[in-house]
């Protein structure tokens, strides 16, 4: 086949790795097709800040040679991967979507990048992000806003918005994002993707620009659950360079998904999922609620049962998250707030200055409360394989929107609306995965909406098994290709 003649639009990481391992797909052809698509689509969608054309081609050539020599490393070998632009790669500019770090070039690889390279992945470039990951819209005054491939007049969500846009539009099969308030799950929901925030401590944060260190998470965004599994088993594990990581074994997640339906006496179509009664449905757009209800019907049809469950302490979620997120972010940025205030975008500096007002008493009490909230969720899910809640209470807002009016009754800031249902799983550190649930129609355009599967600590495999079971049954990921970019 000729170089760049490969059609990559609908191909998952799983399909690409199968083709590469069998010799049917050349890593060089794959990289050329990928770079061509980025060149054509990125000027409009603005998913990348930096594209590494030269090194990507060199790495593809090396991967092709090794594979021909019988030295195939595994499912990520020869696969193009992109990174949110605050994950450090040696010798590559890492802006964090900011003016302040516009010329910063790290002299070492983050642990995540090192593991990806060791697995044979090819780093394509750096994805656009909300400035310093300090927001959830991906409206960026310094590098432009990433645009939703389902409707370019709408937000991608953030702060891993460029990552979601790149995968949704077929510019990369997978991206690595970060999540402090919902920044993997929200853009995954709005762009129709699978996105996993692992358990806090599962993936090393070494070499990643901090936002709020006690609630920052690293995780993958991809087209299907199998793809998430392949990336998660690559980037997970204890890291002596990151004291927040936990030294427990990392499952072979691909094998978990490949095993027969029978596992430890429990059929995979016999999952039991709890749906919290409190908080998550108090404020939600009626169209989003309709998608959630239809998603439940689909789950039931493929043998997954659901039951309502009570969760305590939910009235304390927002205030607890706010104090920790704002307080820690202000501490991280204190020196720059004082010396380079004018170099921040307006919405980011306002948020950081609010953090400067958080008192030590408030911060300490918030950490006490986060433990109580975590305990309440663990108690709620003790008899269930996972919990299930919506990811966002609205679909993707317009790029110029700052407020939304939900069901003509609840006027809210866009940030508050998009992050309302995601922040609790950052402060509790529980694994949470966005699963594409369906579409709503706005202005004659289909907009994706997701749901969150929430698991017990370090039990990501359960979320992967449930979502994989659902995806294999309905082939839902095959529907999630924006028509403009098909």
The residues annotated with a catalytic role in the active site are 84, 159, 183
The total of other beta-carbon atoms located within 10 Å of residue 486's CB is: 9
Helices (H), 262-357: 286-301, 317-339, 346-355
Does a cis peptide bond (omega within 30 degrees of 0) precede residue 337?
Answer: no
Distance of alpha carbon 340 from its chain centroid, rounded? 30
Pairing of strands 445-454, 432-442: antiparallel
3-class SS string, 79-135: CEEEEECCECCCCCCCCCCCCCCCCCCCCCCCHHHHHHHHCCCEEEEEECCCHHHCC
Nearest CA to 186 out of 169, 163, 209, 205 is that of 163
Residue 303 exposure: Cα atoms within 13 Å on the Cβ side: 12
Q: Angle 38-185-180 (CA atoms, 0-180°, nearest 5)?
A: 105
Distance of alpha carbon 475 from its chain centroid, rounded? 20
Cβ atoms of residues 431 and 458 within 8 Å = yes
How far, in Å, are 24, 26, 71 from residue 65 at the CA level?
A: 14, 10, 9
The distance between the two most distant Cα atoms of the chain, rounded to a whole number of Å, is 65
| Distance of alpha carbon 437 from alpha carbon 297, whole angstroms | 11
How far, in Å, are 233, 241, 396, 403 from residue 369 at the CA level?
A: 32, 28, 31, 29
Kind and range of the H or E run holding 266: strand 266-267
| Distance of alpha carbon 75 from alpha carbon 234, whole angstroms | 9
3-state secondary structure of 287: helix
Nearest CA to 427 out of 370, 376, 361, 368 is that of 370
Cβ atoms of residues 228 and 175 within 8 Å = no
């Amino acid at each position: 086949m000729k170089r760049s003649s490969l059609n990559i639009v609908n191909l998952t990481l799983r399909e690409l790795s199968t083709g590469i391992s069998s010799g049917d797909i050349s890593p060089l052809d794959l990289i050329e097709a990928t770079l061509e698509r980025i060149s054509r689509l990125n000027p409009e969608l603005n998913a990348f800040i930096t594209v590494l054309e030269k090194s990507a081609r060199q790495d593809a050539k090396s991967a092709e040679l090794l594979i021909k020599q019988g030295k195939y490393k595994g499912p990520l070998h020869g696969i193009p991967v992109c990174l949110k632009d605050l994950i450090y790669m040696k010798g590559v500019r890492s802006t964090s979507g900011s003016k302040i770090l516009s010329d910063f070039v790290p002299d070492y690889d983050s642990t995540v990048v090192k593991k990806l390279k060791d697995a044979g992945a090819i780093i394509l470039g750096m994805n656009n992000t909300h400035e310093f990951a300090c927001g959830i819209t991906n409206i960026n005054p310094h590098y432009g806003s990433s645009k939703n491939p389902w409707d370019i007049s709408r937000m991608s969500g953030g702060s891993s918005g460029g990552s979601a846009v790149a995968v949704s539009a077929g510019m990369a099969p997978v991206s690595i994002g970060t999540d402090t308030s919902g920044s993997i799950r929200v853009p995954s929901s709005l762009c129709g993707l699978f996105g996993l925030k692992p358990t806090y401590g599962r993936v090393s944060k070494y070499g990643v620009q901090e936002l709020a260190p006690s609630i920052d998470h690293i995780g993958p965004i991809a087209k299907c659950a199998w793809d998430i599994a392949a990336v998660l088993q690559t980037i997970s594990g204890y890291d002596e360079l990151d004291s927040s990581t936990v030294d427990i074994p990392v499952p072979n997640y691909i094998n978990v998904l490949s095993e027969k339906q029978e596992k430890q006496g429990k059929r995979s179509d016999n999952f039991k999922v709890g749906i919290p009664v409190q908080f998550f449905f108090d404020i939600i757009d009626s169209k989003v609620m309709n998608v959630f209800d239809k998603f439940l019907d689909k789950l039931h049809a493929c043998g997954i049962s659901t039951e309502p469950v009570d969760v305590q302490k939910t009235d304390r979620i927002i205030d607890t998250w706010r104090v920790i997120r704002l307080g820690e972010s202000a501490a991280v940025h204190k020196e720059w707030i004082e010396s380079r205030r004018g170099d921040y975008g307006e919405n980011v500096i306002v948020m950081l200055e609010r953090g400067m007002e958080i008192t030590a008493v408030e911060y300490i009490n918030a950490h006490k409360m986060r433990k109580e909230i975590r305990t309440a969720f663990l108690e709620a899910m003790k008899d269930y394989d996972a919990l299930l809640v919506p990811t966002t209470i609205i679909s993707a807002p317009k790029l110029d929107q700052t407020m939304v009016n939900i069901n003509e009754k609840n006027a809210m800031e866009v940030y508050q609306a998009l992050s309302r249902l995601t922040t609790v799983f950052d402060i509790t550190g529980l694994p949470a995965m966005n699963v594409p649930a369906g579409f709503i129609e706005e202005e004659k355009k289909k907009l994706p909406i997701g749901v969150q599967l929430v698991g017990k600590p370090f039990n990501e495999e359960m979320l992967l098994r449930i979502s994989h079971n659902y995806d294999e049954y309905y082939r839902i990921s095959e529907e999630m290709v924006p028509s403009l970019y098909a």
